[in-house]
Amino acid sequence: MPGQVIVPHRKRPGRPLLKGEKEENAQHRKVRVRVEHTFSRMKNYKILRDCRQHGDGLHHAVQAVARMHNLALAA
Single pTM value for the model? 0.54
55/57 Cα distance (integer angstroms): 6
Short-list 49, 31, 48, 30, CA closest to 39: 48
- Report pLDDT digits (tens) over 15-45: 999 999 999 999 989 989 988 887 777 666 6
Question: What pLDDT is stored for residue 1 in this prediction?
Answer: 46
H helices of 1-75, where? 19-44, 47-53, 57-74
Longest dimension (CA), the chain: 54
Span between the terminal Cα atoms of the chain, in Å: 11
- Tell me, what amino acid is at 41? R
Domain ranges, ordered by start, for the chain: 46-75
